[in-house]
Amino acid sequence: MPSEPPLLEGLKILITGPTSQVARPVVACLAQSNDVIGLARFSRDDDRAEIEAMGASTLALDLAEGQLDSVPTDLDYVLHFAVVKSGDFEYDMRANAEGVGLLMSHCRNAKAFLHCSTAGVYDDKAPQPLTEQSPLGDNHRVMMPTYSLCKIAAEAVVRTQARLLGLPTVIARFSVPYGDNGGWPWFHLMMMKAGSPIPVHKEGNARYNLIHEDDYIRMIPLMIARAGVPAETLNWGGSESTSIEEWTEWLSELTGLSAQLAPTEETLRGVELDPAKMHAVVGRTEVPWREGLRRMVATRNPELLR
């Protein structure tokens, strides 16, 4: 039987990658009732100020360097969203794979560790939808050469450290996040506004599992409840899949803007997840993608709505 999800109030929580599009709304939510520490390189002072304005404290350091003395060891939970995609294999492996291993070792006394991985670890030529047991592969090479391989390596390190340290861990293979804070569909909307071509794979109907920020924030305690030794691995995406073709068509209906789709081999094929295990142990997502995209446009670009 799954454990009861923890009540995330009055706790000390480390969130890595707090300035990212994914983690920023998590910080904004959890900092209201917890002692949240945002860990990032903070190369821009404005980013650090924005995170602190949300009520979180900040730590500026590079996980690739492994100097973690300033990181507290009395944490309740660690939510690891940080990812480096510089394109330099040496640096990216050190930051993503070695970095998470060093972080887990330093934070071994935490109650649980959530490692946000990606659907980008799967072989995009394998039969879809993809389960947690589907083959892994280098599916992001065409856009981000280090991304998939570094994420696969990081998962291996996380699994090993969970067992060595006895640190309850959950690995969440994240699909495409979006919401009032933007995301990939919003970039497509901006491309539609600019009249720019939107790459789609020539094979057509590249499907993904858009997941709204409301859903993934709500599901974090449920994910933490699945943390264990050995680490649990779960797909994490919207219960309903969709495609670039479908969501740009819906954005066109909402705004009257045209989407100039440009078929090519130089883009992602699509990575549709099978959410069956997530449904069984965590539950279903609640924000339908069409409604979520309507809200996104209404919040970020209300002038574009018909």
pLDDT the model gives residue 229: 98
Residue boundaries of the structural domains of the chain:
12-177+210-236, 182-208+240-270+287-301
Residues of the chain with pLDDT under 70: 1-2
Tell me the C-alpha distance between 108 and 103, whole Å: 8
CATH no. of 182-208+240-270+287-301: 3.90.25.10
User: Which residues partner with 183 through β-bridges?
Assistant: 178
Q: With left for phi above 0 and alpha for psi between -120 and 50, is residue 283 left, alpha or beta?
A: left
**For residues 81 and 26, is the Cβ–Cβ distance under 8 A?**
yes
Counting Cα atoms < 13 Å in the Cβ hemisphere of 38 gives: 28
pLDDT the model gives residue 4: 84
Superfamily of domain 12-177+210-236 in the CATH hierarchy: NAD(P)-binding Rossmann-like Domain (3.40.50.720)
DSSP string, the chain: -PPPPP--SS-EEEEESTTSTTTHHHHHHHTTTSEEEEEE---SHHHHHHHHHTT-EEEE--TTTT--TTS-S--SEEEE------S-HHHHHIIIIIHHHHHHHHTTTSSEEEEEEEGGGB-TTS-SSBPTTSPB--TTTTT-TTHHHHHHHHHHHHHHHHHHHT--EEEEEE--EEETTEEHHHHHHHHHHHT-EEEEETT---EE--EEHHHHHHHHHHHHTT-BSSPEEEEES-SS-EEHHHHHHHHHHHH-PPPEEEEESSS-----B--HHHHHHT----S-HHHHHHHHHHHH-GGG--
